[in-house]
Amino acid sequence: MTTFFPDPRNRAARSNSGLAAPIAILMVAMSAMLAGCESAPVQDQPAAGAEIQPPAAATKPQAQTRPTEAKPIAGVDLASAKGVTPASALKDPAHVLSQRSIYYEFDKYDIQDDYKPIVDAHAKYLREHPEAKMLIQGNTDERGSREYNIGLGQRRSDGVRRLLVLLGAKEEQIEAVSLGEEKPKAQGTSEEAYAQNRRSDILYKGEY
């Protein structure tokens, strides 16, 4: 009887064929893992000791500001800034300085409120023109004696002069005299004529 012994080469071949399948599966799995690692993005890591900046905050919209409106500048009257001249305002009917008469009640010499703005305007003119000279003539109507009317006319012109000085004019700029009843503005014996004659007249140097 013949005895057969197994060929050791066949055994090794079978052993190798049995290991081939698991090795192949392992290699496929490792390849897949390597492919996944290569496709994943790599984030940069800050260097050691570097300051980590916080994310920038969203910029807030700035509030809208309205432009400042320029206020109108008040105009300047250049003619008045240069001063009033005797040749213009003193003789201009539209100017207060052309009003030269202060009127009174019968037998009175006090200045009524209606005429104080006129005196104030002339006082301002004298203040601004220290070289100007003024003559005030006091007048009366024809009633009363000549001597009495001379005195009444003087009290009227003196009253205007005192008010001008109180308002800033200099005493040496002003002369006050009385004409009494000698220089009537209106003729007649009516009350209207008398009212025109009870007055003080203002004149500037060169007008008398």
pLDDT by residue (tens digit) across 137-155?
999 999 999 999 999 999 9
Q: Compute the distance between CA of residue 26 and CA of residue 24 in angstroms, rounded to an integer.
A: 5
Q: How high is the pLDDT of residue 55?
A: 47
Label residue 181 by pLDDT band (50, 70, 90). Answer: very high
The one-letter amino acid code at 104 reads Y
Q: How high is the pLDDT of residue 167?
A: 98
Q: Compute the distance between CA of residue 152 and CA of residue 141 in angstroms, rounded to an integer.
A: 10
pLDDT by residue (tens digit) across 26-54?
665 565 565 554 544 444 444 444 444 44
Q: Compute the distance between CA of residue 130 and CA of residue 133 in angstroms, rounded to an integer.
A: 8
Q: Compute the distance between CA of residue 18 and CA of residue 34 in angstroms, rounded to an integer.
A: 26
Q: How high is the pLDDT of residue 88?
A: 83
Q: Are 97 and 144 in contact (CB under 8 A)?
A: no
So where are the chain's domains?
A: 85-204
Lowest mean pLDDT among 79-83, 93-97, 181-185: 79-83
Tokens of 184: 């009537």
Which helix or strand (DSSP H or E) is residue 38 part of? helix 8-39
CATH number for the domain whose boundaries are 85-204: 3.30.1330.60
